[in-house]
Structure 1
Amino acid sequence: MNRAPASVWRNPIHFLAFGLGSGAAPKAPGTFGTLAAVPLWYLMAQTSLPVYLVLTLAAFVIGIWLCGRTSRDLGVHDHGGIVWDEFVGYWITMIAVPVDWIWALLGFILFRLFDIWKPWPIRPVDRRVHGGLGIMLDDVLAGVFAALVLQGLILFGC
């Protein structure tokens, strides 16, 4: 188990990469990171779709640097506490989803399932792509898969 380093609370880059500290949870840091992304999604969802997409894209691009830098600083590729990628993956899951607690919960469950399960091509990408991009990309793909399922449910009136 990867314990959270003390730098999470002292270094603003590490604090962000650790999802505002949520990744410092001693168990299931990815789940806690995703949970911490929910209220931020709610705030982002109050904006227009173009603004939401720009914010999500910016979070992805910044996340490549944040996660890569934190990973290098800690000397651990994709430390379990680095959960900025979960934030972005969840926000991708929730693109154009109605702002309602049931959709937020369903998106949370779907994203966590795809992030843990890592169906093709997520697992090969996770194993082959390194650095900040590699840390971010598997969660982005899990978010895309979860978003497709969620949009299908919305489309078919579930």
Structure 2
Amino acid sequence: MNSTTPAPACTRKTLWAWAIATFFGSGLLKPAPGTWGSLAALLLWAALAMGAHAPASTVLIALIGGIVLSIALGVPAATISARESGRKDPGFVVVDEVAGQWIALLGSPADWKHGLIALVLFRLFDITKPFPARQLEALPEGWGIVFDDVAAGLYAWGVAAIVRIWL
């Protein structure tokens, strides 16, 4: 190849980053990949909380660990996947929805009613992005991709905690 021939577009994918960013493929499902990512997070919570009958303290520790990991690995994975896809905030990146959904589930009793409340509230706040969540999208690369959903998760967590007072 000589200097006047353009280089081919990057088609290489960093496997670990794409696996994390798509949350092991759930972000590749259509339609609404963000909802699929949130459902995957909800199902993992349900498997631990209801399926395995884990004590509430174990579920809390697992959720906190999952949140930390999904943010710590999600930011670089989202950055790499976005760069490799050539898109600023690709829809297939759903590790941010996973982090936000798990935040929304913090403190939820282990039943479907509370899990669905957390899911609906998180998706509502993730889609509407009330202040300052939308402004967090301006953070660079993976930081912006992940932290607007962390904010949406915090909103959902707060509202869900208030709703639990009356349920």
Question: Normalising TM by the smaller chain, what interval?
Answer: 0.7 to 0.9
Give, in whole Å, the separation in 1 of the partners of 2:27 and 2:12. 12
Aligned match for 1:140, one of 139, 145, 150: 150
Kept after mapping to 2: 8 A contact 1:93/1:111: yes
User: Who is 1:81 aligned against?
Assistant: 92
> What 5-or-longer segments of structure 2 have no aligned partner?
1-10
Kept after mapping to 2: 8 A contact 1:17/1:83: yes
Tell me the secondary structure at the aligned position of residue 90 of structure 2.
Answer: coil
State the TM-score, normalizing by the size of structure 2: 0.81
User: Who is 1:20 aligned against?
Assistant: 24
What CA deviation, in whole Å up to 9, does each residue of 1:90-149 have, x standing for no partner?
Answer: 0000011111001111111000000001111111222x2121111100000000000000
Aligned match for 1:120, one of 110, 131, 140: 131
State the TM-score, normalizing by the size of structure 1: 0.86
One-letter amino acid matched to 1:55: G
Distance 1:48 1:19, change over 3 A: closer
Q: How does 1:20-59 map to 2 (within 5 A)?
A: 20-43=24-47, 45=49, 46=54, 47-59=58-70
User: Who is 1:3 aligned against?
Assistant: none
Find the structure with the greater CA-based Rg. 2
Give, in whole Å, the separation in 2 of the partners of 1:100 and 1:7. 42
Root-mean-square deviation over aligned CA pairs: 2.0
Give, in whole Å, the separation in 2 of the partners of 1:37 and 1:81. 15
Q: Which moved more, 1:39-48 or 1:95-104?
A: 39-48
Kept after mapping to 2: 8 A contact 1:44/1:52: no
Distance 1:120 1:70, change over 3 A: same
Distance 1:105 1:23, change over 3 A: same
